[in-house]
Amino acid sequence: RGNQHQTVMSALSLMALASVGHQPVDTTVEAEAMRKVVDFLLRDERQTVDGYFGNSDGSRMYGHGITTLALCEMLGMGVNKVQDLKLRQHCQRAIEMILRSQRVRKHAVRYEGGWRYTPSSGDADLSVTVWQTMALRSAKNAGLAVPKEAIDAAVDYLKRSYKSNRDGEGRPTDLNSGFAYQPGANPEYATTAAGLLALQVCGEYEAAEVRGAADWLLELTTGENARRRKSFDYGHKWVFYGTYYYAQGMQKRGGEHARQARQLTEKILLVNQLPDGSWISGDGQERSAGRIYSTTLAILSLSVRYHYLPIYQY
């Protein structure tokens, strides 16, 4: 309730509940809520005949990627075989939409392999691309038909978004840098965290871009400059969106990266939880997205230790 993007906010809520161990098959109030959410997302009016989830609530390809990811994560958790079959059918249609959108002729080579706001976009950005990439990976993990070439192309786009000069073999020479919103731009907290997680989900755990981004994030959030300038706090630009990726991506990196990121995530979020259990962003632009958005991302950020969602087990 209370937000115009009902499809995608419901999908985020579904993942948040699953991330702390709730399943639709349980006999709890949380499970009942999850079953209702799944039924809601599978209504005919939520998804167009060609598989698109981003139309009915105006959430565009952002919403489509998130909703597809959430439903793919539910495969195998269905209440019964009938619902599980219906989930697979809706998910496969949604995946086919993502694949068609990726194949749209792009305006420039640097955009190839990525996605942007609409299925017919001729350019791409990292933020939208990450959600589609994670949805593809989740679907593939669940046994749906996903061509390897599609994930490979997405990985190539993500790597092009890493800010660095390249050597003669195309490898980045700056191993302490981050990912930008679009290739050639400067890296930021949220986009670097997003790129870090997405590449790891695709199996690129030791890619130079992954190592460089993890180190860049560690310095940005916990280094001496961060402490002196107090440059990273609850009011940071897109703090919830970035921290969702940051918490997951740094956890996967392990070691000091995981330890420091977990401490910072808890420090930022726990003291800012409201009495009713919700969160609202301290960043003015992000604040307009509402409490459901902030609360779901906070739960997903704090629950990384549990690994209940299949997408984060890889």
Q: What's the CA gap between 308 and 293, in Å, rounded?
A: 20
pLDDT at position 225 over 80: no
Collect contacts of 279-287 with beta carbons under 8 A, ≥24 apart: 279/240, 281/239, 281/240, 282/233, 282/234, 282/235, 282/236, 282/239, 283/235, 283/236, 283/237, 283/238, 283/239, 283/240, 285/237, 285/238, 286/237, 286/238, 286/239, 286/240, 286/241
- Confidence label for 77 from pLDDT (cuts 50, 70 and 90): confident
Q: What's the CA gap between 98 and 261, in Å, rounded?
A: 32
- Confidence label for 70 from pLDDT (cuts 50, 70 and 90): very high
Q: What is the pLDDT of residue 1?
A: 67
Q: What is the pLDDT of residue 173?
A: 97
Q: What is the pLDDT of residue 87?
A: 95
Average pLDDT, integer, range 77-88: 86
Q: What's the CA gap between 74 and 222, in Å, rounded?
A: 35
pTM: 0.96
- What amino acid occupies position 304? V
Q: What is the pLDDT of residue 80?
A: 81
pLDDT at position 231 over 70: no
